[in-house]
Structure 1
């Protein structure tokens, strides 16, 4: 039974499906579960968010809204949840946070890159499966 779960989220449809799959997975014992939602702001994303929204404060507010929406969704299902926002390269940041915080399970979405992109670039989900010490659930 997974009681302490980390869900890496980026606001994409894949990460929203991760929330749904996690709720489904813990539905019979959700009162005993604690979930941390982790959003990692990559350097290039941080820059593009600032350009898109005009300043870093507005970009931060948009990220908080995304996290709040996800947090409220999990809370509405009766699950204890906390949001965490970190800055860095997504894969190593998720891996380091997961390994430093002793989770029972880590849930990540699969973005569905094509084979060439995955082979050349790797993927966050692939790296998480390879380097996180806990079981990793990849949601397609």
Structure 2
């Protein structure tokens, strides 16, 4: 288990060479709160997050983590759709 908020290397290493400013983190807790809190702490300019693309009924019943982050974040959120 990784310590909270610990920086971890991009995997594989070629991603880091092509994107030298890329950082990834492993956080504990509710992802909605943890991601927004970390973005505020780091004064992030942008949050990039994947979106699964559930159907509307599933999103209504379960909620969408990506949409909750977009609602609560202090900065823009780019939601990247998953493959259909």
Q: TM bucket by the smaller chain?
A: 0.7 to 0.9
Aligned to 1:138: 79
Aligned to 1:122: 63
**Please, what TM-score do these two structures have when normalized by structure 2?**
0.74
Q: In structure 2, how many angstroms separate the alpha carbons of the residues matched to 1:88 and 1:135?
A: 22
Counterpart in 1 of 2:24?
Answer: 83
| Counterpart secondary structure, 1:97 | helix
Is the 1:75–1:81 contact (alpha carbons within 8 Å) kept by the matching residues of 2?
A: yes
Number of aligned residues? 76
- Structure with higher Rg: it is 1
1:108 to 15, 25, 49: 49
Between the aligned partners of 1:67 and 1:113, the Cα distance in structure 2 is 30
The separation in 2 between residues aligned to 1:124 and 1:130, in whole angstroms, is 10
Q: Which runs of 5+ in 1 are unaligned?
A: 1-55, 61-65
Q: 1:75 to 1:88 in 2, by over 3 A?
A: same
Structure 2 spans left out of the alignment, 5+ residues: 3-7
Q: CA deviation at 1:128?
A: 1.2
**Would you tell me which structure has more helix in proportion to its own residues?**
1
Moved more, 74-83 or 98-107: 74-83
In 2, Cα distance between equivalents of 1:128 and 1:105: 12
Deviations 1:71-121 (CA, angstroms, capped at 9, x unpaired): x24213142333321111111111111122211111001111111111122
